[in-house]
């Protein structure tokens, strides 16, 4: 019997775990190296004074992607965690006494839009029909293509699909073809926040996100988003993946164009027939490889349009709070077509939008009885200085608004507080420019125009995760691991 091929995967986030599990399931010997002391990458959790905080992703969208992921291994999400559909899906705050809960039911949502813009129902139906078509083609087909060649997209049928999906029109123009009311426009443009650019610069293809939002719904895994990671780790280990935590990689040795081993800062070495980098692409390319083996130079990276970074506050509150739902978007000072540009401009914004997660409104396990668990996120441009004084300034800006809008004192009831921003993303994840979400999904950073999932100079080195195909977000990174694993299997047969 031939010995199994050794695959070393760097990084135990969603993409790394996905890659490792797919390859182990197909007979490869897989070692997964994680820099931090807990798995999950940006989806790690931490506990403090009885509060349990998800550090990163908090939205569970596209449940079919998770179903498909676990289904590859004969499993279901319910084998590992319990899902609850949220209703309201989230609440949008446009100002004092203007809280709009978004109903989970599609017809109730349609009725909400009719109340805001009478007669808009048929236009909404047309908009959603197009969004459903884009979701079907985009999420069930295009995102599973490795995007290594233009020829992957040149079949006549697919070219027709691509043209029909409005890839050359902006999301902003597309939405305004259907809706006039400025608040409805904001509701429809909101999902592109997850794609890292303004609606003016995101292709209308991504109205597929509206289908994910409105039709497929917003869900929550009881116990927190880290329950997904916990389930993925259990499944990976069931398949034989060996996970090493606190394994900070120093460099990848390359000989004659082949990666031979991965070396930790401790000096420990892992021999490899294949290496898959699920860590930050720029870090791997520029820090772990000798210059002659890098895919891209610094000029290339500096020209990339990055998705936002974030300033996060994790708060434990010693009482129950009023007028909050699980997810809340505060657009009270950010109306108008160019509002979201604040997080792509290379400066701190004067009037930030912000997002609040109050998971304890749904899940009593994440806070002590009678208390609340809050996470506040301010999207910001990458590569900003984030010293403690400016973090505190922005904390008070958003807390002033939050207390005023919800009509209650909160700051005096904070019993736990932690902030997290650019420098933390760099320290914990080696994140390029301190980014939180990866590359923005602009037209010129889509599919074959993203950093390649395969190194051009090292025959057995691959990349997965938010800086390569298909892009940022939890479902795309799950898919990224599957896509890369198929390329590894195709080119490195057992």
Please, which contacts does 123-131 make with residues 24 or more away whose CB atoms are closer than 8 Å? Answer: 123/178, 123/179, 124/178, 124/179, 126/178, 127/175, 127/178, 127/179, 127/188, 127/207, 127/210, 128/210, 128/211, 128/214, 128/215, 130/166, 130/207, 131/207, 131/208, 131/209, 131/210, 131/211, 131/214, 131/215
As a whole number of angstroms, the distance between CA 455 and CA 293 comes to 8
Tens-level pLDDT at each residue, the chain (494 residues): 456 899 999 999 999 999 999 999 999 999 999 999 999 999 999 999 999 999 999 999 999 999 999 999 999 999 999 999 999 999 999 999 999 999 999 999 999 999 999 999 999 999 999 999 999 999 988 899 998 988 777 777 766 777 778 888 999 999 999 999 999 999 999 988 777 788 898 898 899 999 999 999 999 999 999 999 999 999 999 999 999 999 999 999 999 999 999 999 999 999 999 999 999 999 999 999 999 999 999 999 999 999 889 999 999 999 999 999 999 999 998 644 444 555 567 889 888 999 999 999 999 999 999 999 999 999 999 999 999 999 999 999 999 999 999 999 999 999 999 999 999 999 999 999 999 999 998 889 999 999 999 999 999 999 999 999 999 999 999 999 999 999 999 999 98
pTM score, whole prediction:
0.96
**Tell me, what's the pLDDT at 474?**
96
> Which of helix, strand or coil describes residue 174?
helix
Domains along the chain?
Answer: 6-82+223-303+439-491 (3.50.50.60), 105-216 (1.10.405), 306-429 (3.30.519)
Task: Enumerate the β-bridge partners of residue 45.
Answer: 54
- pLDDT value for 483: 97
Strands (E), 223-289: 242-245, 249-255, 258-264, 269-271, 274-277
Residue 338: its pLDDT value, please?
Answer: 43
At 13 the pLDDT is: 98
Q: What is the pLDDT of residue 337?
A: 41
Sign of the Cα pseudo-torsion (288, 344, 328, 112, in order): negative
92: exposed, middle or buried (Cβ count in 10 Å: 0-12, 13-18, 19+): buried
Number of neighbouring beta carbons within 10 Å of residue 95:
12
Cβ contacts of 165 within 8 Å, gap of 6 or more: 133, 134, 137, 138, 204, 205
Q: In three state form, how does the secondary structure of the chain look?
A: CCCCCEEEEECCCHHHHHHHHHHHHCCCEEEEEECCCCCCHHHCEEEECCEEEECCCCCECCHHHHHHHHHCCCCCHHHCCCEEECCCCEEEEEECCEEEEECCCHHHHHHHHHHHCCCCHHHHHHHHHHHHHHHHHHHHCHHHCCCCCHHHHCCHHHHHHHHHCCCCCEHHHHHHHHCCCHHHHHHHHHHHHHHCCCCCCCEHHHHHHHHHHHHHCCEEECCCCHHHHHHHHHHHHHCCCEEEECCCEEEEEEECCEEEEEEECCCCEEECCEEEECCCHHHHHHHHCCHHHCCCCHHHHHCCCECCEEEEEEEEECCCCCCCCCEEEECCCCCCCCHHHHHCCCCCCCCCCEEEECHHHCCHHHCCCCCEEEEEEEEECCCCCCCHHHHHHHHHHHHHHHHHHHCCCCHHHEEEEEEECHHHHHHHHCCHHHCCCCECCCHHHCHHHCCCCECCCCCCEEECCCCCCCCCCHHHHHHHHHHHHHHHHHHCCC
Residue with tokens 């129902």: 121
Q: Is residue 142 within 8 Å of 450, Cβ to Cβ? A: no
Three-state DSSP state, 454 = strand
Q: Is 119 left (phi over 0), alpha (psi -120 to 50) or beta?
A: left
pLDDT score for 155: 75
């Amino acid at each position: 019997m031939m010995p199994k091929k050794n695959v070393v995967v760097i990084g135990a986030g969603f993409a790394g775990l996905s890659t490792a599990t797919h390859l182990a399931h197909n007979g490869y010997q897989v070692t997964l190296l994680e820099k931090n002391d807990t798995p999950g990458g940006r989806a790690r959790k931490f506990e403090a004074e009885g509060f349990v905080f998800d550090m990163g992703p908090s939205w569970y969208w596209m449940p079919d992607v998770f179903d498909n992921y676990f289904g590859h291994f004969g499993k279901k999400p319910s084998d590992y965690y319990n899902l609850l559909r949220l209703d309201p899906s989230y609440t949008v705050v446009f100002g004092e006494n203007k809280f709009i809960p978004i109903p989970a039911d599609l017809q109730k949502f349609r009725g909400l839009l009719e109340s805001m813009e009478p007669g808009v129902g048929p236009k909404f139906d047309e908009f959603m029909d197009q969004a459903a078509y884009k979701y079907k083609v985009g999420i069930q087909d295009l995102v599973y293509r490795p995007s290594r060649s233009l020829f992957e997209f040149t079949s006549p049928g697919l070219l027709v699909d691509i043209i029909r999906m409005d890839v050359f029109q902006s999301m902003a123009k597309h939405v305004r073809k259907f809706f006039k009311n400025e608040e409805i426009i904001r509701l429809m443009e909101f999902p592109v926040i997850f794609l890292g650019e303004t609606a003016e610069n995101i292709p209308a293809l991504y109205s597929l996100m509206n289908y994910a939002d409105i039709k497929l719904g917003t869900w929550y895994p009881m116990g927190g988003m880290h329950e997904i990671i916990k389930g993925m780790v259990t499944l990976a280990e069931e398949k034989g993946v060996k996970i090493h935590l606190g394994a900070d990689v120093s460099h990848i040795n390359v000989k004659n164009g082949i990666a031979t081993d991965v070396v930790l800062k401790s000096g420990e070495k892992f021999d490899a027939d294949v290496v898959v980098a699920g860590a930050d692409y720029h870090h791997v390319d520029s820090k772990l490889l000798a210059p002659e083996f890098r895919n891209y130079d610094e000029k290339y990276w500096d020209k990339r349009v990055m998705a936002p970074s974030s300033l996060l506050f994790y708060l434990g509150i010693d009482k129950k709070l009023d007028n909050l739902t699980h997810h809340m978007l505060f657009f009270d000072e950010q109306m108008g077509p160019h509002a979201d540009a604040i997080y792509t401009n290379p400066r701190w914004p004067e009037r930030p939008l912000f997002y609040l997660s109050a998971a304890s409104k749904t899940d009593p396990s994440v806070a002590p009885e009678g208390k609340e668990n809050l996470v506040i996120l301010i999207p910001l441009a990458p590569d900003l200085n984030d010293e403690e004084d400016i973090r505190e300034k922005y904390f008070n800006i958003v807390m002033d608004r939050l207390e005023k809008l919800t009509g209650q004192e909160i700051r005096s009831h904070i019993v736990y507080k932690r902030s997290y921003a650019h420098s933390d993303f760099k320290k914990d994840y080696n994140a390029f420019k301190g980014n939180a979400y990866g590359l923005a999904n602009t037209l010129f950073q889509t599919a074959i125009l993203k950093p390649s999932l395969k190194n051009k100079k090292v025959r057995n080195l691959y990349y997965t995760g938010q800086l390569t195909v298909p892009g940022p977000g939890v479902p795309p990174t799950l898919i990224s691991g599957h896509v890369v694993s198929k390329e590894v299997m195709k080119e490195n047969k057992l």
